[in-house]
Amino acid sequence: MADLLETGSNWLQGQRKKHATREVTYRQGVNSAPVQATVGRTVFEQDDGSGVIVRTEIRDYLIDAVDLVLGGQAVLPERGDRIEETNGGKKYAYEVMPLGSEPHWRYSDPYRKTLRIHTKHIATEDA
Amino acid sequence: MSLIVDVAEALVVELNAGSFSQTLSAQRHYVPSFELPDMANLHVSVVPKGMAITNSDRNRNSHDVQIDVAVQKKFEAGDAAEIDPLMDLVEEIADFFRLRRLSSYPNAHWIKTEHKPIYAQEHWDELRQFTSVLTFTFRVVR
C-alpha cells in the first residue's frame, strides 16, 4: 500500500517547485549549474563573546535533491559553496554555512526529496 | 577625552603608522559591528575594554587600561595559505606593542598582552571568517 504521507509530501514539493521557485546558480568549486530554488529569508546577528559583532542576512534555499547535479554528478552541499541570485541588475552571492547548531544543510522532508541549504549573504555586485 | 579613549586612540595612531606584512587601517570603535559582505577586506578594530585603578603612591593612582585589538577577515578556503598570513599579522601586532611606550600618549606603557581567542571558532564555523583578538594592558600613573 502506498504511503499516503509520502505521496502528499511529494505532491506538495512538486507544487512548491512549480509555483514558488526561481532560477539561481549553484557553484561548488569549479562547477556550477542553474537550479530551481525556493527562497526563504531571515535576519541574523552574531556576537563572538569578545564584543565583535558581525551581522549577516541568512537565506535558506530549498532545492530538489535530484536537481543538484554538478559536473555530471549528483552532489550534496558543502561548506563554502556559493548560490548566486540575479535581481534588478545586481548579482547577490550567498555562501553555504552552518546556522547555529544546525549543519549547513539538511533534508527538509522525511523522504529526502528536498534539500534545505543554509546560506549567508557575502557579496553584491553588478550583474 | 577620557583616559581609556586616549589610550585607545594612541593605539590606533601607532598601528596606522606601523609597518606590518599587510597594509592595515585600524579604527577605534565602542562596539565594532560589521556586515559580513564587508569582511572580505581586512578589519583591525581597537576597542576600549576595561580599566583597573589601584593606589600608586600618596598622590597618584595606577590605571591599568585594557584595550582589545581585533583582526578580522572573511576567508575563502580557510587553508594554511590563507590563514597563516593573518596569524603572522596578529603576532606582528602583539610584538609591535611589547615593551612599548605609546608615542602619542607617553604616559602609557605596556604591561602585558593576552591573545584570546587566538581565533574565534564560532566565526570560523558559522561565518567562515577569521577573528583574532589581542588584549593589551597599558599602565598610566597619574
**A109 phi and psi angles, rounded to 5 deg:** -135, 160
Nearest to A122 among B45, B74, B126 (CB): B74
CA angle B124, B132, B36 (to 5 degrees): 50
Answer yes or no: are the C-beta atoms of B32 and B70 closer than 8 Å.
yes
Q: For B3-141, which CATH superfamily applies?
A: Phage minor tail protein U (3.30.70.1700)
One digit per residue, pLDDT tens: chain A, 127 residues?
Answer: 678 888 888 888 888 888 889 999 999 999 999 999 999 867 776 766 667 888 889 999 999 999 999 999 999 999 999 999 998 999 999 999 998 888 999 999 889 999 999 999 999 999 8
**B83 phi and psi angles, rounded to 5 deg:** -90, -35
Nearest to A54 among B77, B78, B129 (CB): B129
**A&B contacts, CB < 8 Å:** 78
Chain B CB contacts of A57 under 8 Å are 36
Residue with cell 584595550: B67
Average pLDDT, chain B: 95
Which of B127, B130, B135, B136 is the mutation pick for testing A, counting most A CBs within 10 A? B127
Residue with cell 529569508: A41
**A118 phi and psi angles, rounded to 5 deg:** -85, 130
B79/B29 Cα distance (integer angstroms): 29
The count of other CB atoms within 10 Å of the CB of residue A124 is 12
Answer yes or no: are the C-beta atoms of B139 and B108 closer than 8 Å.
yes
Q: Where are the domains of chain B?
A: 3-141
Chain B CB contacts of A48 under 8 Å are 117, 120, 122-123, 131
Chain A CB contacts of B74 under 8 Å are 122
Chain A CB contacts of B117 under 8 Å are 48, 50
For B63-120, how does the pLDDT look when each residue is reduced to its tens digit (9 = 90+)? 999 999 999 999 998 999 999 999 999 999 999 999 999 999 999 999 999 998 899 9
CB contact under 8 A, B35 and A124: no
pLDDT higher than 70, residue B122: yes
pLDDT higher than 80, residue B42: yes
Q: Which residue of A has its CA nearest to B30?
A: A51
Examine the predicted complex and report whether its ipTM is higher than 0.95.
Answer: no
Q: What is the pLDDT of residue A1?
A: 67
Nearest to A50 among B39, B76, B117 (CB): B117
Q: Which residue of B has its CA nearest to A118?
A: B126
Which residues are registered as beta bridge partners of A23?
A: A36
CB contact under 8 A, B68 and A50: yes
Residue with cell 601607532: B14
Q: What amino acid occupies position B30?
A: Y
